[in-house]
Amino acid sequence: MKKNLFLAAGLAVALFATSCDSNNAGNDTVAVTNNTAAEAPAQTIENPNVVAENEVVPAEDAAVMAFEQTEYDFGTIKQGETVDHTFEFTNTGKTPLIIENASATCGCTAPDWTRTPVAPGEKGFVAVKFNSTGKVGQQQPTVTIRANTQPNIVKVAMKGSVEPSSMPTAGADGPVRRN
């Protein structure tokens, strides 16, 4: 029975390892060769689903999210404390700016944002709340903002250090008893 189980597990691992094609990861173009002519050069076909960063040209009338700062250093805090910061931006484009979504990298960070369209020249905000409960050491919670801008994804981040709380925790000998 164990022999069959190990055989099935080994076959599953081998199938999984050979099904992934990691040689083409990150390629944006495909080379096509012509087998009928011996001396025909290879053609390059551009993938329409992938846009190189140097090819992104913002539309003239697109909304533009210009932040006063994209990173906030909250310094050093004690574990369990909460840090709030509001990132303000100005719409420097020519059309109203609409934030579709803002999502955080972890559950310890909660974003809030301007829910109404931000007219050209007006200001909006992305408020970030970081809860350091269960976190120790260097932290850098990031919020990804998706809007009708070019580029349509913008990131803002907080950074700082979280020190352990002074309350004793379980050690090598087990939980610490508090009177």
* Residue 24, pLDDT above cutoff 70: no
Task: Provide the pLDDT for residue 62.
Answer: 85
**Bigger pLDDT: 23 or 99?**
99
How far is residue 28 CA from its own chain's centroid?
A: 21
- Count Cβ atoms below 10 Å from residue 134 Cβ, excluding itself: 10
Q: What does the angle CA 71 – CA 76 – CA 79 come to, to the nearest 5 degrees?
A: 110
In the predicted structure, residue 145 carries a pLDDT above the cut 70: yes
The pLDDT assigned to 168 comes to 59
Q: Is the pLDDT of residue 165 over 80?
A: no
**Which pTM was predicted?**
0.60
Q: Is it the case that residue 117 has pLDDT exceeding 50?
A: yes
Place of tokens 């709030």: 84
Give per-residue burial for 37-55: e unless 16+ CB within 10 Å, then b. eeeeeeeeeeeeeeeeeee
State residue 10's pLDDT score. Answer: 74
Q: Give dist(CA 143, CA 156) in Å, integer.
A: 5
Q: Which residue has the higher pLDDT, 93 or 44?
A: 93
User: Is the confidence at residue 74, as pLDDT, over 90?
Assistant: yes
Sorted by where each starts, the structural domains of the chain and their CATH numbers stand as: 65-163 (2.60.40.10)
C-alpha span between 172 and 167 (Å, rounded): 16
Residue 26 has a pLDDT of 47
Give me the mean pLDDT over the 69-73 stretch: 94
